[in-house]
Amino acid sequence: MSGRYDRSDMEATTGIFQILAAVIAVGGAAKLVAPAAFTETLRALGLNGGEPAARTAGAVELAIGVGAIVIGGSAAALVVAAAYAIFAVTVVKARKVGAASCGCFGSVAAPPSTLHVVVNFVSALLALGAAATSPRALLDVLADQPLAGVPYLVLLGVGVWLTVALDTVGAQLLDEMTAVRRLGPVLRENGHPRVARARSTSRPAGSRRLD
Model confidence pLDDT, tens digit, residues 153-210: 999 999 999 998 888 876 667 656 655 565 555 555 665 555 445 444 544 444 444 4
Q: How far is CA 46 from CA 40, 43, 93, 109, 139, in A?
A: 10, 5, 11, 19, 41
- Element housing 195 (H / E): helix 193-201
Distance CA(87)–CA(51), nearest Å, equals 18
In the chain, DSSP finds a helix count (H) and a strand count (E) of 9, 0
Distance CA(77)–CA(147), nearest Å, equals 27
Contact criterion met (CB below 8 Å) for 28 and 64: yes
- Element housing 39 (H / E): helix 36-44
**What's the pLDDT at 104?**
85
User: In terms of Cα–Cα distance, which of 150, 164, 88, 167 is closest to 121?
Assistant: 88
Phi and psi angles of residue 34, each rounded to the nearest 5 degrees, phi first: -135, 80
Q: What is the DSSP letter of 104?
A: T
**What's the pLDDT at 3?**
45
User: In terms of Cα–Cα distance, which of 93, 109, 117, 110 is closest to 44?
Assistant: 93
Which of the residues in the chain have pLDDT under 70? Answer: 1-10, 109, 170-172, 174-211
CB atoms within 10 A of CB 69: 24
**What's the pLDDT at 8?**
61
Distance CA(125)–CA(18), nearest Å, equals 14
**What's the pLDDT at 47?**
87
118 Cβ neighbours under 8 A, 6+ residues apart: none
Distance CA(59)–CA(63), nearest Å, equals 6
Distance CA(114)–CA(91), nearest Å, equals 8
Q: Chain centroid to CA 8: how far?
A: 26
**What's the pLDDT at 4?**
44
